Amino acid sequence: MTLLVQEVAAEVIKDLVNTVRSYDTENEHDVCGW
């Protein structure tokens, strides 16, 4: 059970990291647009 929880947590963390990265790049593009 613990292994499954760790795997799910790892996937969630990866998704969060990808979301944050895409959000940061979007903000950078907006700043460059100015």
Residues 1-34 have pLDDT tens digits of: 678 999 999 999 999 999 988 877 776 666 555 5
Q: Which domain holds residue 18?
A: 1-34
What CA–CA distance (Å, rounded) separates 27 from 10?
A: 26
pTM check: above 0.95 = no
| Rg from Cα positions in the chain | 15
Length of the chain: 34
Total structural domains within the chain: 1
